[in-house]
C-alpha cells in the first residue's frame, strides 16, 4: 500500500491522527502529525517552532558576533506571513495550487482534496505575505528572512529551469548560482581549493543548485568573458579581464613558444576544444555565432595542451602572430621563424 493511500484511509476516521509530509525551502521535507481539531494556522505554528526556527535546520551558528540578529525569538507578526498550499509540482508552470485559509480545518481540507494528494500534489510551507520593510525583517527575524531568500531562489530556479524557459536566462541563472555558492562558502580561497574536500563541497553545491538539464544545455556553449591580451617583452603573454584586475600570465617568456599556427575554426580539429582557449571576439556571452573565427595556436615547450587564441579576423591573428614571432627572434637571437604557415597565409 502506498503512503498516500495509507493517509487517505486514515482520513476516513475523523478521530484519527494522520502524518503527512510538508515541504519547505530548499527541498526540505518534514513529516507532521495532524490532529482532527487543528487548523492550518496550528500546523504552521508547529512547523515554525519545531522545524524552521531550529537554527540547525538552516545551517546557522549561534555564536554570531553580531548580536543585533534575532536567531531565537519569533516575531509575533512574522508567523502570520506564512501560509500552506497544496501544489502540483508535476505541472509545467507550477500554477496549479490551492492556498489553505489559516482558519480552515486541516483534516477536513485533506479529506476534501484526497484525490489530489493521491495524484501526487504536495503540501508546502511558504511565506505568502511579504513584509513592507525587508531591512527590518532581516534584522528582527533573520531565520524568516533566510527562509524567504531560499524560497525566492527556489521558485526562480523552478520557473527558469522549466523546459519552456530553459534557454532564456542562462547568464542570469549562472550568475545567481555563483552568488549562492559564494554565499555558502564565503571564506573559501583559491588556496583552499587545493583540498579535495573543498572541491567535493563545491561540487555538491553546484549539483544542488543546477539540475542536470541546465548543465547539459550549457555544455555545447562556450562561456566567454571579454578580455584584453597583453604581449610585452617584460611580461610575456598575459591577459586581463578589466583594467582594475591584475594580469594573468600564460606564457612567461617567448623562448618557451615552439610553434605558431593559424587555422580557420571551421577546419579545426575537434580535439582543440579540450585545449586552453582565449577568446578575443567581442560577442555576447554564451551565444552561438555563425561567424567563422580564426584560431591562433601556440605550441608551448613542455606543455601537452596547445594554447588557442580565438580572433575575430585573419588580420588580427596575423598581427598577433607576427608580434609573438618577432619577440621570439629577439629573445632567442635566432633569425628563424616559428610561424609555420606564414608564407601560405601571405599568398
The low-confidence residues of the chain, meaning pLDDT below 50, are: 1-2, 5, 12, 55-57, 59-68, 70, 163-164, 166-167, 220-223, 270-274, 283-290
Task: Tell me the average pLDDT of the chain.
Answer: 76
Counting Cα atoms < 13 Å in the Cβ hemisphere of 124 gives 25
Task: Provide DSSP, 195-212.
Answer: SHHHHHHHHHHHHHHS-H
Task: Provide DSSP, 40-71.
Answer: HHHHHHHHIIIIIT-GGGGT--S--S-TTS-S
Q: What is the pTM of this model?
A: 0.52
Q: What is the pLDDT of residue 338?
A: 93
Domain ranges of the chain: 18-59+74-131, 159-220, 225-266+291-346
- Domain 18-59+74-131: give its CATH code: 3.10.20.90
CATH architecture of the domain covering 225-266+291-346: Roll (2.30)
CB of 154 closer than 8 Å to CB of 25:
yes
Q: What is the pLDDT of residue 224?
A: 52
Q: What is the pLDDT of residue 232?
A: 87
Q: What is the pLDDT of residue 271?
A: 47
Q: What is the pLDDT of residue 260?
A: 93
Residue-wise pLDDT tens digits, 67-107? 445 455 556 678 889 999 999 877 655 568 899 999 999 99
Amino acid at each position: 500500500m502506498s503512503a498516500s493511500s495509507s493517509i487517505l484511509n486514515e482520513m476516513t476516521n475523523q478521530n484519527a491522527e494522520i502524518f503527512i509530509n510538508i515541504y519547505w525551502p530548499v527541498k526540505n521535507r518534514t513529516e507532521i502529525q495532524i490532529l482532527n481539531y487543528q487548523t492550518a494556522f496550528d500546523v504552521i505554528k508547529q512547523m515554525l517552532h519545531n522545524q524552521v526556527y531550529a537554527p540547525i535546520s538552516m545551517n546557522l551558528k549561534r555564536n554570531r558576533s553580531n548580536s543585533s540578529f534575532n536567531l531565537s525569538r519569533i516575531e509575533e507578526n512574522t508567523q502570520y506571513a506564512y501560509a500552506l498550499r497544496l501544489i502540483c509540482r508535476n505541472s509545467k508552470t507550477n500554477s496549479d495550487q490551492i492556498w489553505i485559509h489559516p482558519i480552515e480545518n486541516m483534516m477536513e481540507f485533506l479529506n476534501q482534496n484526497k484525490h489530489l494528494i493521491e495524484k501526487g500534489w504536495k503540501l508546502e510551507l511558504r511565506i505568502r505575505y511579504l513584509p513592507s520593510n525587508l531591512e527590518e525583517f532581516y534584522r528582527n527575524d533573520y531565520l524568516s528572512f533566510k527562509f524567504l531568500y531560499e524560497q525566492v531562489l527556489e521558485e526562480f530556479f523552478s520557473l527558469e529551469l522549466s523546459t519552456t524557459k530553459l534557454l532564456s536566462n542562462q547568464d542570469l541563472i549562472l550568475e545567481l548560482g555563483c552568488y549562492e555558492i559564494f554565499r555558502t562558502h564565503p571564506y573559501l580561497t583559491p588556496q583552499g581549493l587545493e583540498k579535495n574536500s573543498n572541491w567535493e563541497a563545491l561540487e555538491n553545491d553546484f549539483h544542488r543548485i543546477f539540475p542536470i538539464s541546465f548543465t547539459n544545455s550549457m555544455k555545447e556553449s562556450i562561456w566567454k568573458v571579454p578580455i584584453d591580451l597583453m604581449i610585452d617583452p617584460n611580461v610575456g603573454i598575459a591577459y586581463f579581464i578589466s583594467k582594475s584586475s591584475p594580469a594573468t600570465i600564460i606564457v612567461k617568456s617567448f623562448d618557451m613558444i615552439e610553434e605558431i599556427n593559424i587555422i580557420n575554426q571551421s577546419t579545426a580539429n575537434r580535439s582543440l576544444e579540450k585545449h586552453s582557449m582565449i577568446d578575443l571576439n567581442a560577442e555576447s556571452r554564451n551565444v552561438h555565432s555563425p561567424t567563422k573565427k580564426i584560431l591562433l595556436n601556440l605550441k608551448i615547450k613542455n606543455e601537452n595542451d596547445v594554447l588557442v587564441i580565438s580572433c575575430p579576423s585573419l588580420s588580427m591573428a596575423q598581427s598577433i602572430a607576427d608580434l609573438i614571432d618577432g619577440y621570439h627572434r629577439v629573445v632567442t637571437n635566432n633569425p628563424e621563424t616559428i610561424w609555420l604557415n606564414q608564407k601560405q597565409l601571405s599568398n
